[in-house]
Structure 1
């Protein structure tokens, strides 16, 4: 069952990490049947999802590095760097201040619902603008801030928050906004995972892990995330994000119903349990 659970959690992570539906909300539901996982396990399955996106955008990343002589590439790369640095600096400040919200079901459910409503509004507002594909400095700055906000508020979804901030800030093209959000997420999430991995190794908890289970979860997360992101990039060519927004609202209502029925613990009832992974896992929320 340990390996079956690893496969199932790898699938959940792979599907939900980069789709704008919040991996946190789904992991909270999954843990009721599959049990909670260690920080190391969460880091590993997230790393699989990041690797998948890196592979998908490998040619784009190479073109930015090797084509640095092109002013257009330099400007785009500089905006990615600025967005990442804003996230890194603000994330460290938030961490030093010790500010974090609970990762229990009720707050995450409300974040899912509010995020779903926000997505519908953002689609409506973006549809009234010309489909510009350019990423401005204003968009880059807001995307950097949005990553921090998504890390602080479990359930918002890093990908969803950054995509729709970019769209509302002037990038009317869903495709262009998604590409920038995913590209800036690559270094952000690698840095977050690397930081937590070093911390986990340093405190010695990694020695107790089942490495076969970790390997299975990593491989499954990588493959599933690759398929999910490829599908998403094709889907948004001609479709809005409205279906994801409606799905988020439904999942949020389901979570609230489970809390009200006593099936999921109320906020603070399970304070000693290991925390569930969050959107920029685990950079900002831990």
Structure 2
């Protein structure tokens, strides 16, 4: 039965990782509803790498070109540096939150998660509606200041429910980056961010994981990868045409429903 739950949770992760709705919030709420046991949040963290792998596959040509031309291309070096600059704040906040056990507290706090969904949804709607016209149209050519600001916004995702994708997309719009370029930069930034989270989590817990937990993680990883492959390109097309209003509304609805469930039924 828990393998079926791993499949369902993998689908949720893959479909929501790159949408500005917080895959972590959806996973944690779903795990509570399904009574899925995830000690230390290992399953939740590790299957996210499957969704990130989908970005590497879909953008392989662009990423491979950037890597192989680093010694000879100033544009490739600029792109790589911009991603690293955006990634750096997450390293600092991640280390501090991990050492203070803040992450453990937040990951188990459904009211905080649901509240973050609602607050982030309102912020996403407001920024999407009132953002100034974009001046940046290429995700590989963002200046370092813009990249750093987007990276600082990503740090908001330390609170489950704020959404790493949602926070970076808000930061991109604040910096006048158009929706396609902002979404793509968010995808690229996810690669070192989620890879780093995976490595840290695995290093700390791999000796404690049972073969059964490894099996669940493997299933969730593969399913998340396949689901993410299906959603990334349609997501970019959708937001270019319609913006983020639907996702903002979805966040608020899920957040309110989660609070109603938690305070009205979860402990009944």
TM-score (norm 1): 0.83
SS at match of 2:20: coil
Q: Distance in 1 between matches of 2:201 and 2:76?
A: 31
1:102 alignment partner in structure 2: 106
Q: How far does the alpha carbon of each residue in 1:108-143 deviate from its partner, in whole angstroms, 9 at most, with x for none? A: 1111111011011111222x3245315222221112
Q: Distance in 2 between matches of 1:122 and 1:176?
A: 16
Instruction: Indicate yes or no: 2:201 matched with 1:191.
Output: no
Matches within 5 A, 1:161-200: 161-171=167-177, 173-200=178-205
| Count of residue pairs brought into register by the alignment | 260
Instruction: Indicate yes or no: 2:221 matched with 1:243.
Output: no
Q: Distance in 2 between matches of 1:59 and 1:53?
A: 11
Q: Distance in 1 between matches of 2:110 and 2:121?
A: 16
2:91 equivalent among 81, 88, 91:
88
2:150 alignment partner in structure 1: 143
User: Is the 2:2–2:216 contact (alpha carbons within 8 Å) kept by the matching residues of 1?
Assistant: yes
Residues 1:89 and 1:102: Cα distance change in structure 2 (over 3 Å): closer
Residues 1:95 and 1:223: Cα distance change in structure 2 (over 3 Å): same
Q: Distance in 1 between matches of 2:27 and 2:259?
A: 15
Instruction: Indicate yes or no: 2:54 matched with 1:52.
Output: yes
2:125 alignment partner in structure 1: 120
Mark the runs of 5 or more structure 1 residues left unpaired by the alignment. 266-286
Q: How far does the alpha carbon of each residue in 1:232-254 deviate from its partner, in whole angstroms, 9 at most, with x for none? A: 12222322011000110111110
User: Is the 1:6–1:213 contact (alpha carbons within 8 Å) kept by the matching residues of 2?
Assistant: yes
TM-score (norm 2): 0.89
2:25 alignment partner in structure 1: 25
1:284 alignment partner in structure 2: none
> Which stretch of the first structure deviates more once superposed, 252-261 or 42-51?
42-51
Residue 74 (structure 1) shift: 2.0
1 or 2, which has the higher helix percentage? Answer: 2
Residue 34 (structure 1) shift: 4.4
1:276 alignment partner in structure 2: none
Q: Distance in 2 between matches of 1:94 and 1:217?
A: 26
User: Is the 2:24–2:44 contact (alpha carbons within 8 Å) kept by the matching residues of 1?
Assistant: no
Q: Distance in 1 between matches of 2:254 and 2:198?
A: 27
Mark the runs of 5 or more structure 2 residues left unpaired by the alignment. none
2:76 equivalent among 52, 73, 95:
73
Q: Distance in 1 between matches of 2:95 and 2:14?
A: 27
